[in-house]
Amino acid sequence: MKTYIGIDLGGTNVRVGIVTEDGEVLQQIKSPSYAKEGPEKVMANIKQMVKQLDGWEKCTAVGVGVPGPCSQQTGSMTMSTNLPGFTGYPIASELSEEFGMPAFIENDADVAGLAEALVGDGKGLPVVMYVTISTGIGGCLIVNGKCLSGKHGYGGEIANMIVGTSRNKYNHLTPGAVENEASGTAVSRKGRERLSELNIQHAGEVFELAAQGNEIAQSIVEEAVNDLAQMFASIAALADPDMFILGGGMMKSADVFLEPMLQRYRMITHEALHDTPFVIAQLEEPGLIGAAMLPKSHGY
Protein backbone atom coordinates (compact mmCIF):
# COMPACT_ATOMS: atom_id res chain seq x y z
CA MET A 1 0.00 0.00 0.00
CA LYS A 2 1.25 3.47 -0.86
CA THR A 3 2.11 5.93 1.89
CA TYR A 4 2.47 9.70 1.73
CA ILE A 5 4.09 12.41 3.82
CA GLY A 6 1.46 14.87 5.02
CA ILE A 7 2.38 18.33 6.34
CA ASP A 8 -0.27 20.48 8.03
CA LEU A 9 1.39 23.90 8.30
CA GLY A 10 -0.33 26.64 10.28
CA GLY A 11 0.55 30.02 11.64
CA THR A 12 1.02 28.58 15.14
CA ASN A 13 1.75 24.86 14.81
CA VAL A 14 2.88 22.35 12.21
CA ARG A 15 2.20 18.63 12.10
CA VAL A 16 3.91 16.11 9.87
CA GLY A 17 3.01 12.47 9.46
CA ILE A 18 2.95 9.37 7.33
CA VAL A 19 -0.50 8.50 5.99
CA THR A 20 -1.66 5.52 3.92
CA GLU A 21 -3.59 5.92 0.68
CA ASP A 22 -6.70 4.88 2.65
CA GLY A 23 -6.27 7.78 5.05
CA GLU A 24 -4.81 5.94 8.05
CA VAL A 25 -2.33 8.05 10.02
CA LEU A 26 0.62 5.79 10.86
CA GLN A 27 2.82 8.37 12.57
CA GLN A 28 2.70 12.06 13.34
CA ILE A 29 4.82 14.73 15.04
CA LYS A 30 3.71 18.17 16.18
CA SER A 31 5.82 21.30 16.70
CA PRO A 32 5.52 25.07 16.79
CA SER A 33 5.66 26.35 13.21
CA TYR A 34 7.95 29.32 13.99
CA ALA A 35 5.98 31.32 11.44
CA LYS A 36 7.12 34.72 12.74
CA GLU A 37 10.78 33.72 12.27
CA GLY A 38 10.47 33.51 8.49
CA PRO A 39 10.50 30.87 5.76
CA GLU A 40 14.03 29.57 6.30
CA LYS A 41 13.34 28.68 9.94
CA VAL A 42 9.92 27.21 9.11
CA MET A 43 11.23 25.04 6.29
CA ALA A 44 14.30 23.86 8.21
CA ASN A 45 12.04 22.75 11.06
CA ILE A 46 9.71 20.87 8.69
CA LYS A 47 12.61 19.04 7.02
CA GLN A 48 13.98 17.99 10.40
CA MET A 49 10.56 16.77 11.54
CA VAL A 50 9.98 14.68 8.41
CA LYS A 51 13.35 12.99 8.85
CA GLN A 52 12.30 11.92 12.34
CA LEU A 53 9.51 9.78 10.84
CA ASP A 54 10.38 6.11 10.53
CA GLY A 55 10.41 5.05 6.89
CA TRP A 56 9.80 8.47 5.37
CA GLU A 57 12.12 7.50 2.48
CA LYS A 58 9.65 4.82 1.38
CA CYS A 59 6.80 7.31 0.90
CA THR A 60 5.57 8.09 -2.60
CA ALA A 61 5.18 11.87 -2.38
CA VAL A 62 4.64 14.89 -0.11
CA GLY A 63 1.52 17.02 0.37
CA VAL A 64 1.34 20.31 2.28
CA GLY A 65 -1.70 22.18 3.56
CA VAL A 66 -1.18 25.91 4.25
CA PRO A 67 -3.38 28.78 5.54
CA GLY A 68 -3.97 30.68 2.32
CA PRO A 69 -4.61 30.43 -1.43
CA CYS A 70 -1.99 28.66 -3.55
CA SER A 71 -0.82 28.45 -7.14
CA GLN A 72 -0.48 24.91 -8.43
CA GLN A 73 1.67 26.22 -11.28
CA THR A 74 4.36 27.61 -8.95
CA GLY A 75 3.82 25.39 -5.91
CA SER A 76 3.66 28.45 -3.69
CA MET A 77 1.22 30.60 -1.73
CA THR A 78 -0.32 33.61 -3.45
CA MET A 79 -1.23 35.23 -0.12
CA SER A 80 0.32 34.37 3.25
CA THR A 81 -1.20 36.51 5.98
CA ASN A 82 -0.45 33.96 8.72
CA LEU A 83 2.93 32.89 7.33
CA PRO A 84 4.99 36.08 6.82
CA GLY A 85 7.37 35.91 3.89
CA PHE A 86 5.77 32.91 2.21
CA THR A 87 3.97 34.70 -0.63
CA GLY A 88 5.63 33.29 -3.74
CA TYR A 89 8.03 31.11 -1.73
CA PRO A 90 8.69 27.81 -3.62
CA ILE A 91 7.52 25.43 -0.89
CA ALA A 92 6.72 22.47 -3.16
CA SER A 93 9.93 22.54 -5.20
CA GLU A 94 12.12 22.94 -2.12
CA LEU A 95 10.55 19.94 -0.40
CA SER A 96 10.66 17.90 -3.60
CA GLU A 97 14.39 18.57 -3.92
CA GLU A 98 15.04 17.86 -0.24
CA PHE A 99 13.22 14.53 -0.12
CA GLY A 100 13.66 13.33 -3.69
CA MET A 101 9.95 12.86 -4.40
CA PRO A 102 7.06 14.90 -5.86
CA ALA A 103 5.57 17.55 -3.57
CA PHE A 104 2.28 19.44 -3.76
CA ILE A 105 0.77 22.39 -1.87
CA GLU A 106 -2.82 23.49 -1.31
CA ASN A 107 -4.97 25.66 0.94
CA ASP A 108 -5.75 24.07 4.32
CA ALA A 109 -9.53 24.20 3.85
CA ASP A 110 -9.08 22.55 0.46
CA VAL A 111 -7.01 19.69 1.84
CA ALA A 112 -9.50 19.12 4.64
CA GLY A 113 -12.21 18.89 2.00
CA LEU A 114 -10.07 16.56 -0.06
CA ALA A 115 -9.72 14.24 2.93
CA GLU A 116 -13.47 14.15 3.48
CA ALA A 117 -14.08 13.54 -0.24
CA LEU A 118 -11.47 10.82 -0.78
CA VAL A 119 -11.55 8.83 2.47
CA GLY A 120 -14.47 10.33 4.43
CA ASP A 121 -18.21 10.39 3.85
CA GLY A 122 -17.75 11.69 0.31
CA LYS A 123 -15.66 8.71 -0.79
CA GLY A 124 -16.67 7.53 -4.26
CA LEU A 125 -18.87 10.53 -5.07
CA PRO A 126 -18.09 12.55 -8.23
CA VAL A 127 -18.79 16.03 -6.85
CA VAL A 128 -18.37 16.98 -3.18
CA MET A 129 -18.54 20.45 -1.66
CA TYR A 130 -16.77 20.84 1.66
CA VAL A 131 -17.60 23.91 3.74
CA THR A 132 -15.95 24.86 7.01
CA ILE A 133 -17.79 27.30 9.28
CA SER A 134 -15.67 28.44 12.18
CA THR A 135 -13.73 31.62 12.92
CA GLY A 136 -14.11 32.21 9.19
CA ILE A 137 -15.86 30.41 6.35
CA GLY A 138 -13.98 28.43 3.72
CA GLY A 139 -14.69 25.76 1.19
CA CYS A 140 -13.45 23.37 -1.42
CA LEU A 141 -15.17 21.88 -4.46
CA ILE A 142 -13.81 18.41 -5.19
CA VAL A 143 -14.61 16.98 -8.62
CA ASN A 144 -13.54 13.45 -9.47
CA GLY A 145 -11.05 13.46 -6.61
CA LYS A 146 -9.42 16.81 -7.36
CA CYS A 147 -9.75 20.22 -5.73
CA LEU A 148 -10.88 22.91 -8.14
CA SER A 149 -8.70 25.72 -6.86
CA GLY A 150 -8.80 27.72 -10.10
CA LYS A 151 -6.37 29.90 -12.00
CA HIS A 152 -5.44 32.15 -9.05
CA GLY A 153 -5.94 29.64 -6.23
CA TYR A 154 -9.17 31.29 -5.11
CA GLY A 155 -11.56 28.55 -6.18
CA GLY A 156 -13.62 27.62 -3.14
CA GLU A 157 -12.79 30.86 -1.32
CA ILE A 158 -16.45 31.29 -0.46
CA ALA A 159 -15.87 33.70 2.45
CA ASN A 160 -16.47 36.62 0.11
CA MET A 161 -19.74 35.32 -1.37
CA ILE A 162 -22.28 38.16 -1.03
CA VAL A 163 -25.42 37.16 0.86
CA GLY A 164 -27.04 40.56 1.27
CA THR A 165 -26.84 44.23 0.40
CA SER A 166 -26.80 47.23 2.75
CA ARG A 167 -24.44 45.46 5.14
CA ASN A 168 -21.47 47.01 6.94
CA LYS A 169 -17.84 46.57 5.95
CA TYR A 170 -15.62 45.01 8.63
CA ASN A 171 -12.34 43.99 7.01
CA HIS A 172 -10.86 43.26 3.58
CA LEU A 173 -14.00 41.40 2.49
CA THR A 174 -16.83 43.03 0.56
CA PRO A 175 -19.81 44.34 2.58
CA GLY A 176 -22.36 41.54 2.82
CA ALA A 177 -19.72 38.78 2.59
CA VAL A 178 -20.99 35.62 4.25
CA GLU A 179 -17.94 35.31 6.49
CA ASN A 180 -18.72 38.70 8.01
CA GLU A 181 -22.38 37.80 8.50
CA ALA A 182 -22.61 34.13 9.46
CA SER A 183 -19.24 32.83 10.67
CA GLY A 184 -18.49 32.12 14.32
CA THR A 185 -16.71 35.46 14.47
CA ALA A 186 -19.77 37.23 13.05
CA VAL A 187 -22.19 35.54 15.44
CA SER A 188 -20.04 36.40 18.46
CA ARG A 189 -19.62 40.01 17.21
CA LYS A 190 -23.37 40.44 16.90
CA GLY A 191 -23.80 38.88 20.31
CA ARG A 192 -21.44 41.40 21.90
CA GLU A 193 -23.19 44.26 20.12
CA ARG A 194 -26.75 43.28 20.98
CA LEU A 195 -26.26 41.45 24.27
CA SER A 196 -23.60 43.77 25.68
CA GLU A 197 -24.63 43.18 29.27
CA LEU A 198 -23.75 39.47 29.01
CA ASN A 199 -20.08 39.76 27.96
CA ILE A 200 -20.35 37.28 25.07
CA GLN A 201 -17.00 35.61 24.31
CA HIS A 202 -17.79 33.15 21.54
CA ALA A 203 -20.54 32.06 19.16
CA GLY A 204 -21.44 28.99 21.20
CA GLU A 205 -22.82 31.24 23.95
CA VAL A 206 -25.16 32.91 21.48
CA PHE A 207 -26.43 29.56 20.22
CA GLU A 208 -26.93 28.36 23.79
CA LEU A 209 -28.91 31.48 24.68
CA ALA A 210 -31.03 31.01 21.56
CA ALA A 211 -31.80 27.43 22.56
CA GLN A 212 -32.86 28.73 25.99
CA GLY A 213 -35.34 31.14 24.39
CA ASN A 214 -33.47 34.44 24.43
CA GLU A 215 -35.19 36.41 21.68
CA ILE A 216 -32.21 38.59 20.78
CA ALA A 217 -29.96 35.56 20.46
CA GLN A 218 -32.64 33.84 18.39
CA SER A 219 -32.71 36.80 16.01
CA ILE A 220 -28.93 36.59 15.57
CA VAL A 221 -29.17 32.86 14.85
CA GLU A 222 -32.01 33.46 12.40
CA GLU A 223 -29.88 35.95 10.48
CA ALA A 224 -27.02 33.44 10.30
CA VAL A 225 -29.45 30.72 9.20
CA ASN A 226 -30.77 32.86 6.35
CA ASP A 227 -27.32 33.96 5.21
CA LEU A 228 -25.87 30.44 5.29
CA ALA A 229 -28.87 29.13 3.38
CA GLN A 230 -28.29 31.79 0.71
CA MET A 231 -24.64 30.77 0.47
CA PHE A 232 -25.45 27.07 0.10
CA ALA A 233 -28.20 27.83 -2.42
CA SER A 234 -25.73 29.80 -4.55
CA ILE A 235 -23.19 26.98 -4.42
CA ALA A 236 -25.87 24.43 -5.32
CA ALA A 237 -27.03 26.52 -8.27
CA LEU A 238 -23.51 26.52 -9.67
CA ALA A 239 -22.13 23.09 -8.73
CA ASP A 240 -25.09 20.86 -7.75
CA PRO A 241 -22.84 18.61 -5.63
CA ASP A 242 -23.62 15.03 -4.70
CA MET A 243 -23.01 15.96 -1.08
CA PHE A 244 -22.26 18.93 1.16
CA ILE A 245 -19.84 18.08 3.98
CA LEU A 246 -19.75 20.59 6.83
CA GLY A 247 -16.82 21.09 9.17
CA GLY A 248 -15.56 23.74 11.58
CA GLY A 249 -16.21 24.79 15.15
CA MET A 250 -19.77 26.00 14.57
CA MET A 251 -20.81 22.40 13.95
CA LYS A 252 -20.75 22.01 17.73
CA SER A 253 -23.98 24.06 17.66
CA ALA A 254 -25.47 22.28 14.65
CA ASP A 255 -28.43 21.10 16.72
CA VAL A 256 -29.52 24.75 17.03
CA PHE A 257 -29.06 26.09 13.50
CA LEU A 258 -28.61 23.27 10.96
CA GLU A 259 -32.21 22.08 10.54
CA PRO A 260 -33.63 25.63 10.28
CA MET A 261 -30.91 26.42 7.77
CA LEU A 262 -31.84 23.37 5.67
CA GLN A 263 -35.51 24.38 5.76
CA ARG A 264 -34.58 27.83 4.49
CA TYR A 265 -32.25 26.32 1.86
CA ARG A 266 -35.12 24.21 0.50
CA MET A 267 -37.36 27.27 0.32
CA ILE A 268 -34.96 29.13 -1.99
CA THR A 269 -33.66 26.30 -4.22
CA HIS A 270 -35.15 24.21 -7.01
CA GLU A 271 -37.04 21.16 -5.78
CA ALA A 272 -34.57 18.83 -7.50
CA LEU A 273 -31.84 20.08 -5.15
CA HIS A 274 -33.74 19.33 -1.95
CA ASP A 275 -32.46 15.77 -1.56
CA THR A 276 -28.76 16.74 -1.56
CA PRO A 277 -27.36 15.37 1.72
CA PHE A 278 -25.71 17.72 4.22
CA VAL A 279 -23.29 15.69 6.35
CA ILE A 280 -21.20 16.80 9.32
CA ALA A 281 -17.50 15.98 8.82
CA GLN A 282 -16.31 13.02 10.87
CA LEU A 283 -12.56 12.66 10.23
CA GLU A 284 -10.44 13.42 13.28
CA GLU A 285 -7.35 14.57 11.35
CA PRO A 286 -8.65 16.16 8.13
CA GLY A 287 -5.78 18.64 7.81
CA LEU A 288 -3.00 16.09 8.02
CA ILE A 289 -4.85 13.40 6.08
CA GLY A 290 -5.92 15.85 3.40
CA ALA A 291 -2.38 17.13 2.92
CA ALA A 292 -1.26 13.55 2.41
CA MET A 293 -4.10 12.97 -0.08
CA LEU A 294 -2.85 15.78 -2.34
CA PRO A 295 -0.37 13.54 -4.19
CA LYS A 296 -3.05 10.87 -4.55
CA SER A 297 -5.38 13.43 -6.15
CA HIS A 298 -2.60 14.18 -8.64
CA GLY A 299 -2.26 10.54 -9.60
CA TYR A 300 0.67 9.48 -7.40
Residues 253 and 145 in one domain: yes
Same domain, 134 and 106: no
Tell me: do 256 and 272 sit in the same domain. Answer: yes
CATH of the domain at 106: 3.30.420.40
Q: Kindly state whether residue 119 falls inside one of the protein's structural domains.
A: no
Q: Please indicate, yes or no, whether residues 139 and 177 belong to a single structural domain of this protein.
A: yes
Mean pLDDT, the chain, rounded, equals 95
- Same domain as 134, residue 109: no
Domain for residue 92, yes or no?
yes
Question: Residues 57-101: pLDDT tens digits?
Answer: 999 999 999 988 898 889 999 988 889 999 999 999 999 999 999
Same-domain pairing of 92 and 148: no
Give the strands of the sheet with 137-143, arranged side by side. Answer: 146-147, 137-143, 127-133, 243-247, 278-280
For residue 212, being part of any structural domain is answered with yes
* pTM of model > 0.85: yes
Both 133 and 261 in a single domain?
Answer: yes
23 in a domain, yes or no? Answer: yes
Residue 194 has pLDDT above 90, yes or no: yes
31 and 169 fall within a common domain: no
Q: Which domain holds residue 72?
A: 3-114+284-297
**Residue 268 in this model has a pLDDT that exceeds 90:** yes
Residues 110 and 158 in one domain: no
Same domain, 129 and 274: yes
The answer to whether residue 274 is domain-embedded is yes
pLDDT recorded at residue 293: 96
Domain count, the chain: 2
Do 234 and 203 lie in one domain? The reply is yes
Q: Which residue has the higher pLDDT, 151 or 190?
A: 190
Pair 145, 175 in one domain: yes
12-47 tens-digit pLDDT: 999 999 999 999 999 999 999 999 999 999 999 999
